[in-house]
Amino acid sequence: MDFHPWVIMVIALISFKIFFLFNNALRNTGFNENYTVTLGNQHVLFLNQGREVQLSLDRSSGAGFQSKEYFGSGYFQMRIKLPDKDSAGVVTAFYISTTTNSYGTDTKLYTVHLPLVANDGGRSKANYSNVPFQAHFRDFNIDGCPSIPTNPNKECHSTKYWWNGKKYNHLNPNQLKAYENVRKKYMTYDYCADRRRYPTPPPECIR
Ligand SMILES: *[C@@H]1O[C@H](CO)[C@@H](O)[C@H](O)[C@H]1NC(C)=O
């Protein structure tokens, strides 16, 4: 029996919807599953059943959180909404810190929302008449291979993990273009290019 084209279309739409619901549920990991607050408990607000976190910065404190585990490899992401006011002098960062082990490195993920240590060559000071500065974070899923620095997981570099595939070693031309567009449009300062402050660029600047 043949299906009428609109029946096929409806089936396709339903499958599409199911795929997205399923995918969304998978990606919709709660904060507590993977992360823990490490700084400024009173300045952390959980929204939307822990699917979103707001970090506030005022005169008394900033806030931050980190991944519970170390990872030997992974594909890490975080959706971040920066403060909507003039927040010069405020750092909102998602970064990794690595520990060397016998197979390579183990990585922990961190966020901080703090008054600035160094940007614009230290020219900008936070304008505290704008407090609280609020930053929002979403997407607490971590695609990673857990490892323990004192007992590294040597499986983490195997190709059984999709992010170890060659195509994830570098940005593809479209991603590179998107990245360069964002730099051009929104970046006002790059410490890697600040030769006055860093005559020798810090190691993470070399690529
Ligand atoms: C600080 O922010 C307030 C309120 O937005 C503004 O009126 C003031 O000019 C700002 N001060 C500086 C030094 O930018």
The pLDDT tens digits of the residues spanning 64-84 come to 999 999 999 999 999 999 998
Whether 130 lines ligand 1, by a CB cut-off of 6 Å, is yes
Three-class SS state of 21? helix
Residue at 35 is within a domain: yes
Q: How confident is the model at residue 204 (pLDDT cuts 50, 70, 90)?
A: confident
Residue at 2 is within a domain: no
pLDDT at position 29 is 87
Which residues span the domain enclosing 57? 7-148+160-205
Beta strands in 8-104 (DSSP E): 35-39, 44-47, 52-57, 63-67, 70-75, 79-81, 90-100
Residue at 179 is within a domain: yes
pLDDT at position 113 is 92
Residue at 23 is within a domain: yes
Is the entire prediction scored with pTM above 0.85?
no
Q: How far is the CA of 196 from the centre of ligand 1 (A)?
A: 28
Tracing tokens 């089936």 back to the chain, one arrives at 11
Amino acid at 134: Q
Q: How far is the CA of 89 from the centre of ligand 1 (A)?
A: 13
Q: CATH number, domain at 65?
A: 2.60.120.200
Q: How far is the CA of 138 from the centre of ligand 1 (A)?
A: 30
Residues 183-203 have a mean pLDDT of 92
- Diameter of the chain by CA atoms? 75
Q: How confident is the model at residue 27 (pLDDT cuts 50, 70, 90)?
A: low
Q: How far from 79 is each of 53, 102, 125, 139, CA to CA, in Å? A: 11, 32, 26, 6
Residue at 155 is within a domain: no
Whether 124 lines ligand 1, by a CB cut-off of 6 Å, is no
Residue at 1 is within a domain: no
**How many structural domains compose the chain?**
1
Q: For a substitution probing ligand 1, which of 127, 128, 130, 133 has the most ligand atoms within 8 Å of its CB?
A: 127
